[in-house]
Amino acid sequence: MKCLVLFVLVLCPVLSSLVLAQQKKSGPLSKEFIEVAGVKLRIGMTKAEVADKLADVQNVTKLNEKTWLIDRKTETWPSGVQFKNGILVFADRGWRTKDTDAVQALFGVVSSLNREGYSDCSIATDTLTNPGEVNDRVWIHCGLKTVLVAHIQLGEKTFEEVIEQLGTMPEND
Quote the CA–CA distance of 49 and 79 in Å, as a whole number: 17
Say if 8 falls within a structural domain: no
Which pTM was predicted? 0.81
Say if 19 falls within a structural domain: no
Q: At 68, which amino acid appears?
A: W
Number of domains in the chain: 1
Say if 45 falls within a structural domain: yes
Say if 147 falls within a structural domain: yes
pLDDT of residue 27: 67
pLDDT tens over the chain, length 173 residues: 444 443 434 434 433 443 333 345 656 788 899 999 999 999 999 999 999 999 999 889 999 999 999 987 777 788 999 999 999 999 999 999 888 899 999 999 999 999 999 999 999 999 999 999 999 999 999 999 999 999 999 999 999 999 999 999 988 75
Range of the domain at 48: 34-167
Quote the CA–CA distance of 132 and 130 in Å, as a whole number: 6
Say if 131 falls within a structural domain: yes
Say if 41 falls within a structural domain: yes
Question: pLDDT per residue over 82-115, tens digit each?
Answer: 999 999 999 999 999 888 899 999 999 999 999 9
Say if 52 falls within a structural domain: yes
Q: At 123, which amino acid appears?
A: I
Say if 17 falls within a structural domain: no
